[in-house]
Structure 1
Amino acid sequence: MKRFIKRIPCVRILNALILRAATLLAPVVPDTVLRRIPVVGQFRLRLPNSQEVCLKTDGYDRVANEVYGDGIDGFEKSTMRLFLQLLEQVGTFLDIGAGTGIYSLIAAVDDGQREIYSFEPVPRVRARFETNVKLNGLSNIRVFPNALSDRDGEIDLYVPAGPVPMLSSTLQGFREASEVLRVQGVTVDAFVADHDIPSVDLMKIDTEATEHQVLQGAVKTIQRDAPVIICEVLRGRTEQSLHSVMDDLGYRYFWISSEGLVEKERIAGDEASRELNYLFLPKGKAQEILQKTENLLQGIGSRRVPP
């Protein structure tokens, strides 16, 4: 019965009625309550350059629910603002652990000439991503089912329960898993070579405590291209391993905080587990990039546009 009740807001007709009632009650109902209402159907997300991303959701995609309510600022606000500024200098983007694809979709719509290679190994998560790629008519995103790692070959992926399991990991025991999928692992270096990618400008890595393995498999690409890297850091999980890979590659480390970029000599995950991402900048490009992102916390307007 509890599961049935939870599904009620995700039934499309009922969802429309609930959202309509919520709109009318907005002056008296707390935002914290309103934001817990999922959205079902299609809506358009406006980017700062007035481009729009169309998103289709059945109510179970947490990212879609968050950006429906608060626009671009609804999901990973500080990282998203930084990402939008970094895109100005990005021709090729690797989105590793893409989930339902919000970063890839934004990057693709922002510039139709940009090349995006996205990786999401969980089939039911990837299917939602691919639906929105088609919905937006995007030809500059290629979505791959691989799990990026430090080796090529088959690898176990531990998948939590739920319609949209966004916390899947190749690290056994990281989360309680309801199923184990055998997926094809690949290194960034092998992928870049196999697909004749001439240069990588930006990598975003969110693989649930295996980011250091992804980077270990990307060393040749990093040495060749010195890409900007956005990397999730979970406290007490990967910090030392990240240093083991990155320290010899000539990078500076910045925590992406709600107050802006904070340079760190030692990588340390957020104690509060709120701001999870770091920016790794190649030392030769760091000053130029920092100058271009100095207005990180200034208003980047975004809003939801109804269908």
Structure 2
Amino acid sequence: MTEKGKRLIENEHVAVKQCKYGTMMYNTNDAFIGRSMDLYGEWCDNELDIIGQILQPGCLVVDVGANIGTHTLFFAQKVQEEGFVLAFEPQRLSFQMLNGNVALNGITNVKTYQTAVSDKEGKIPVPVLRPTVKANYGAISAQGHEHGEEVEVVTIDSLNLARCDLMKIDVEGMETKVLKGAVKTIQAYQPVLFVENNHQTNSKELIETLYDLGYRCYWNIAGYYNPENFLDNEENIFENMSPEVNMLCFPKHIEVAVHGCPEVTGSEDSWLKCIERVREEMLVGAED
């Protein structure tokens, strides 16, 4: 391990390390986010490269599904002190790390909420994961559980925001519900939407909801490993994993050139179909 990648603090399941966007604490038993932070000092940096081209100082960002704050810290830095980030994370232990990472970096333009976000207000049970057990802690949905700690559920519309420039939604299959609870906000401010679409069973309804809101959608499909990662680690532990799949969405009336992100062709489209189209286009180009 290089000096740059040295753990500054560690205990049974928590480590602190200097990472790409600041000093970060993470769960060393988290098989995805935690392991990526430990080995690479970053998580899904391709997503941040895309989003970073959109954000400007003064923007208001809504981060739904903030986890431990890997994206939250980046957003806060991009929008600077004149901007603001609202970060939502329902899992208590992840929420505690989110707050720790905000505090460790002296960030003052972030407000955190230990709440779930959906289409209706209320309360739901959210399971508390054992932090000493190896697991994919970022893949646990807040819905569909009978037991757990009671957590408040809010809608984005209930916040009565005065502005919204970007909404990032990564909630393990609840993305459509989040959008349906944000219709008034989206109609009022027309934010850019960055929405996870990893779940094939939910994809059709999610795309239709975005179309109904007046958006054009573009696939952002990328592997978890970044060859140019912060810690210069050449080992790709995610080589055999399915990619991370999101949609970058703009209001239809806005003319944008989205390079490297093919447009979603309809509600029946999928990231697998998109990859096949790109592959066929490359073959045709090679023949020409």
TM-score, normalised relative to structure 2: 0.71
Q: Which runs of 5+ in 2 are unaligned?
A: 6-11, 224-240, 262-288
Answer whether contact 2:164 2:185 (CA < 8 A) is retained. Answer: yes
Answer whether contact 1:159 1:168 (CA < 8 A) is retained. Answer: no
TM superposition shift of 1:139: 0.8
Q: Which amino acid aligns with 2:155?
A: T
Which of the pair is proportionally richer in helix? Answer: 1
1:113 corresponds to 2:77 = no
1:210 and 1:69 map into 2 onto residues whose CA distance is 29
Answer whether contact 1:97 1:120 (CA < 8 A) is retained. Answer: yes
Answer whether contact 2:139 2:172 (CA < 8 A) is retained. Answer: yes
State the identity as a percent: 28
2:244 and 2:128 map into 1 onto residues whose CA distance is 23
2:185 and 2:204 map into 1 onto residues whose CA distance is 21
Per the alignment, residue 43 of structure 1 pairs with: 17
Q: C-alpha deviations, 1:125-164, integer Å up to 9, x for none?
A: 1001111111111110111011000001112335555458
Answer whether contact 1:169 1:209 (CA < 8 A) is retained. Answer: yes
Per the alignment, residue 54 of structure 1 pairs with: 23
Answer whether contact 1:158 1:169 (CA < 8 A) is retained. Answer: no
- Judged with a 3 Å threshold, the aligned counterparts in structure 2 of structure 1 residues 106 and 206 are, in CA distance, closer, same or farther, namely same
2:166 and 2:111 map into 1 onto residues whose CA distance is 15
Match of 1:223 among 184, 187, 209: 187
- Judged with a 3 Å threshold, the aligned counterparts in structure 2 of structure 1 residues 66 and 230 are, in CA distance, closer, same or farther, namely same
TM superposition shift of 1:232: 0.9
Per the alignment, residue 142 of structure 2 pairs with: 170
Answer whether contact 1:116 1:140 (CA < 8 A) is retained. Answer: yes
- Judged with a 3 Å threshold, the aligned counterparts in structure 2 of structure 1 residues 41 and 119 are, in CA distance, closer, same or farther, namely same
Local SS of the residue matching 1:276: strand
1:178-217 equivalences under 5 Å are 179-191=147-159, 193=160, 197-217=161-181
Per the alignment, residue 255 of structure 1 pairs with: 219
Per the alignment, residue 101 of structure 2 pairs with: 132
Local SS of the residue matching 1:238: helix
TM superposition shift of 1:44: 2.4
Per the alignment, residue 50 of structure 2 pairs with: 82
1:80 and 1:146 map into 2 onto residues whose CA distance is 24
2:139 and 2:81 map into 1 onto residues whose CA distance is 30
Q: Which amino acid aligns with 2:152?
A: Q
Match of 1:245 among 206, 209, 217: 209
1:131 and 1:227 map into 2 onto residues whose CA distance is 28
Q: C-alpha deviations, 1:77-120, integer Å up to 9, x for none?
A: 43122122222376000000110011111111332322000001
1:40 and 1:170 map into 2 onto residues whose CA distance is 23
2:125 and 2:38 map into 1 onto residues whose CA distance is 34
Answer whether contact 2:25 2:101 (CA < 8 A) is retained. Answer: yes
Per the alignment, residue 278 of structure 2 pairs with: none
- Judged with a 3 Å threshold, the aligned counterparts in structure 2 of structure 1 residues 182 and 126 are, in CA distance, closer, same or farther, namely same
1:13-32 equivalences under 5 Å are 19=1
Q: Deviation above 6 Å: which 4+ runs of structure 1?
A: none
Q: Which amino acid aligns with 2:40?
A: D
TM-score, normalised relative to structure 1: 0.67
Q: Which amino acid aligns with 2:206?
A: L
